[in-house]
């Protein structure tokens, strides 16, 4: 969007890479690699464990796996960029709303996607309370002297 690189996507890239690697090595979701499982890790992950464990595939296969993981990530990035270009107006509406509101819930996001206006933000709480008070007639306060006490005596403190 801004034609700039920044470090904000570091965790996103880490997670996307892990998913792509599982797609290739564990789930057989690569036409190049095929339906073969190359993951040899165990459920517990410790720092340096991958380095110390022997691989169950060749260096050439490792390069092929790396290439497939890279291809999946780049294809996903290209698709995401195209989606943003195709829906640039929606991207700007969402960005503007996030700047104004800081967060959007699912209902608000659905409204933006449908092109609907969001409900106004209440910036002046006191003015809002006055409008509510003016719009609704005041309810009579209950008379506590006539309230049932279920046999309990109430005395002023």
Greatest C-alpha distance within the chain:
89
Cα separation, 118 vs 129, in Å, equals 20
Shared domain for 116 and 48, answered yes or no, is no
User: In this predicted model, what pLDDT tens digit does every residue of 41-56 receive, in sequence order?
Assistant: 554 455 555 555 566 7
Cβ atoms of 156 and 145 within 8 Å: the answer is no
Residues of the domain holding 106:
87-137
User: Tokens 């006539």, residue?
Assistant: 146
Cα separation, 129 vs 139, in Å, equals 15
Shared domain for 41 and 67, answered yes or no, is yes
Shared domain for 71 and 34, answered yes or no, is yes
Does pLDDT of 76 surpass 50? yes
39 or 81, greater pLDDT = 81
Cβ atoms of 27 and 65 within 8 Å: the answer is no
142 or 117, greater pLDDT = 117
pTM over 0.75: no
Q: Give the CA-trace dihedral at 12, 16, 19, 23, to 10 degrees.
A: 170
pLDDT average, residue stretch 133-145? 69
Cβ atoms of 77 and 61 within 8 Å: the answer is no
CATH number at residue 65: 1.20.58.760
Shared domain for 116 and 76, answered yes or no, is no
**What is the per-residue pLDDT for 70?**
97
Shared domain for 82 and 69, answered yes or no, is yes
SS3 of residue 152 by DSSP = coil
Does pLDDT of 128 surpass 90? no
Burial class (CB in 10 A: 0-12, 13-18, 19+), 59: exposed
Does pLDDT of 102 surpass 80? yes
Q: How many domains does the chain have?
A: 2
pLDDT average, residue stretch 14-34? 94
**What is the per-residue pLDDT for 136?**
76
Cα separation, 50 vs 52, in Å, equals 6
């Amino acid at each position: 969007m801004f034609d700039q690189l920044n470090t904000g996507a570091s965790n996103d890239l880490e997670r996307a890479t892990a998913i792509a690697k599982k797609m290739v090595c564990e789930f057989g979701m690569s036409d190049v690699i095929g339906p073969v499982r190359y993951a040899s890790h165990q459920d517990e992950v410790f720092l340096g464990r991958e380095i110390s464990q022997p691989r169950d595939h060749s260096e050439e296969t490792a390069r092929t796996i790396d290439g497939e993981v890279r291809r999946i990530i780049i294809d996903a990035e290209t698709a995401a960029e195209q989606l943003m270009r195709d829906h640039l107006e929606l991207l700007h509406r969402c960005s503007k709303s996030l700047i104004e509101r800081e967060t959007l819930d699912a209902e608000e996001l659905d409204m933006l996607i449908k092109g609907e206006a969001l409900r106004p933000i209440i910036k002046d709480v006191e003015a809002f309370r006055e409008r509510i008070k003016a719009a609704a007639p005041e309810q009579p306060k209950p008379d506590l002297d006539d309230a049932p006490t279920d046999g309990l005596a109430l005395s002023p403190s």
